[in-house]
Amino acid sequence: MDTTETRILSLRVGMPRELGVSGASAPMDRPWTSAIFKEPVTGPVWLSPTGLTGDGQADRKVHGGPEKAVLAYALSHYDFWREHLARDDIGPGAFGENWVLTQGTEADVCIGDVLRVGHARVQVSQPRQPCWKPARRWGRRDLALLLQQTGRTGWYYRVLEEGHVQEGDTVTLLERPFPAFTIAFANQAMHGQAPEAAAALAECPLLTAGWRDSLRRRSQGNRGNDRPRLVGPNSDD
């Protein structure tokens, strides 16, 4: 195997689960529903415009759908999180990702990248905006903010051509129309104090409409309130 090629190290799917304890006094222990627990799959899996067979999302308003059909994450990030969070059990699937990729990070992936993966063709659509559910899973209330601040967010693909994909498939870059707009740049444009970057990225036609709208508002000084996404019901404050 060519170790310089990007491959799917782990392909994972999962359906929503009911979790938590009814009547718990601590917010982090209360009932919640999530599909963050993804299990590895070997062999071909059908990838349609709405995602992988066997995969689901608990809140379809903010997860899944044609613009967020597959969530990818960089293999190299897990060492950081194991050390930073002092958790030896963090590894592939820790944050609800579908594909763990052997090469590349947010600094190497660009909005609009078109890739051949197995028998499918996909396109990078946006970074992941971390929500409160990874924090609930790992019992670390500030984890969503840490994912955001470190830029280790992962990214989403839309599906241009459906087909079978599987663990071990090569991920081959076919087109890169916007080399300046890396996922790292997009994260900084959205979450940093960078109105010029936000305005520039908002004009990228291959970025999801929701991100473009939010970036336009942020470029004009209206940052909105990220607390419901980052903290959600993990705190009574």
Provide the 10 A C-beta neighbour count for residue 53. 12
Which ranges of 62-177 does DSSP label H, i.e. alpha helix?
A: 77-85, 132-138, 143-150
Answer for the pair 146, 134: CB distance below 8 angstroms, yes or no: no
Bridge partners, 123 (sequence order): 114, 158
Q: Determine the Cα–Cα distance for residues 99 and 156; give it in Å rounded to an integer.
A: 10
pLDDT, tens digit (0-9, with 9 covering 90-100), for 86-136: 999 999 999 999 999 999 999 999 999 999 999 999 999 999 999 999 999
| Closest listed residue to residue 134, CA positions, set 146, 150, 149 | 146
User: Which DSSP state fits 20?
Assistant: S
Bridge partners, 68 (sequence order): none
pLDDT, tens digit (0-9, with 9 covering 90-100), for 171-210: 999 999 999 999 999 999 999 989 999 999 999 999 999 9
Q: Where are the domains of the chain?
A: 8-234
Reduce the DSSP state of residue 133 to 3 states and report it. helix
> How many Å separate Cα 51 from the centre of its chain?
13
- Packed helices 77-85 and 143-150: angle between N→C axes, nearest 10 degrees: 140
CATH number corresponding to 8-234: 2.40.33.20
pLDDT, tens digit (0-9, with 9 covering 90-100), for 39-94: 999 999 999 999 999 999 877 666 678 999 999 999 999 999 999 999 999 999 99
Whether residue 217 has pLDDT greater than 60: yes
| Closest listed residue to residue 159, CA positions, set 123, 200, 109 | 123
Total-model pTM: 0.96
Which ranges of the chain does DSSP label H, i.e. alpha helix?
A: 77-85, 132-138, 143-150, 183-191, 195-201, 209-219, 227-230
